[in-house]
Amino acid sequence: MSKLGNLGARLYRGEVGYDFVAKRKIWYGISILITITAIVGLAVRGLNFGIEFSGGAVFTTPKTSVSADAARQTAEEASGHTAIVQKLGNGPLRIQVSDVTTEQSRATQEALAKKLGVSTDKVNTDIVGPSWGDQIANKAWTGLAVFMILVVIYLAIAFEWRMALAALVALIHDLTITVGVYALVGFEVTPGTVIGLLTILGYSLYDTVVVFDGLKESSKDITKQTRFTYSEIANRSLNGTLVRSINTTVVALLPVAGLLFIGGGFLGAGMLNDISLALFVGLAAGAYSSIFIATPLVADFKERDPQMKALAKRVRAKRAAAAAKGEPGEAEPRDAVPGVEDDEDEDTGTAGVVAPRARGSRGRAQGKRR
């Protein structure tokens, strides 16, 4: 733990860094593999839609000693449909049956009351029509589409279209993984799930926008210098927010993990699973995409720009010339790290361009002191 804390402190102070952008093909490959797995799971198993979307009936019993398996069998025999039973706390049961008519729901209520040995009115029944479920599903899709459109428009105005496109890809990546996990696990999709998805999209965007804001500031007047390419500046900005991203993600995941594993698992509050699983998977995927997907994608898009291509060519030419003269400090710049900033570019006098120190410069200075 002490080594991990020391590493975090060094990252924060800018003494070390990691070249995320240069290794972007690895991250793309990992994301593609996870996304394909999620899509296959979704295609094979499908989503387990709750009655809010598919229509059906929910029966809530009083405290009883009847087992969940016995209640499930009774409900399925009376309704003719598959039943899902959840134990609530220490006694009551929640039985959900999809695609049942009013007559079937009444027969199921009576059968459950007889099995539990209580009067019929003690078994609470809520019926949801399929048309109402369709309306809820359509509203959820509409809300998601509007959210995506507004996000792209805002990012395109506040930053640029390349960043907006990269953020959109990261959001789709997070959504696909979260929905795929829901299909693989078999958890019920309810309005709480939709709320959870919208919440994690906002969190993912927050993390991505923080990185983009630093990148926008760091790359200002970048073409007026010949020391660093756009990808190197992007990597420096990413390292500058790495510790913050890790800290905020861990702090956010801890209470969500409590909801999912303690509330939904040990305490049996099954309704917490709907939103907590979406939050848990989405927060983790969002943190991953903001670090390993969004910023590397922006660097990819930006490096295709003619100005950035020309800059990269000038940087390579300068480094080649420096290497030919035996100046490794200029030929091999150190990986971009946070906390290292030049007040003025040595080539053009341009202030504000963020640039890491050259590799080996510190070693030469120490050698002179010796």
pLDDT per residue as tens, the chain (370 positions):
556 556 656 655 556 677 888 888 999 999 999 999 999 988 888 887 777 777 788 888 888 888 888 888 888 888 888 888 877 767 788 888 887 778 888 888 888 888 888 888 888 888 877 666 677 778 878 888 888 888 889 888 988 899 999 999 998 998 899 888 888 887 778 777 888 888 888 877 887 888 888 888 888 888 888 888 888 888 888 887 787 778 888 888 888 888 777 766 555 555 667 788 888 888 888 888 888 999 899 999 998 888 888 988 988 888 888 888 876 554 444 443 333 333 334 343 333 333 344 333 344 444 444 4
Q: How many residues does the chain have?
A: 370
Cβ neighbours of residue 77 under 8 Å, at least 6 residues apart? Answer: 111
Q: How many CA atoms lie within 13 A of 272 on its CB side?
A: 19
Closest CA to 156 of 198, 239, 216: 216
**Cβ atoms 169, 290 nearer than 8 A:** no
Backbone angles phi, psi at 189, to 5 degrees: -95, 115
pLDDT at residue 205 in the model: 84
Model pTM score:
0.70
Reduce the DSSP state of residue 49 to 3 states and report it: strand
**CB neighbour burial string for 200-236, b if at least 16 within 10 angstroms, e if fewer:** bbebbbebbbbbbebbeebbeebbebbbbbbbbbbbb
- Integer-rounded Cα radius of gyration of the chain: 28
Domains of the chain in start order, with CATH, are 16-49+132-303 (1.20.1640.10), 56-128 (3.30.70)
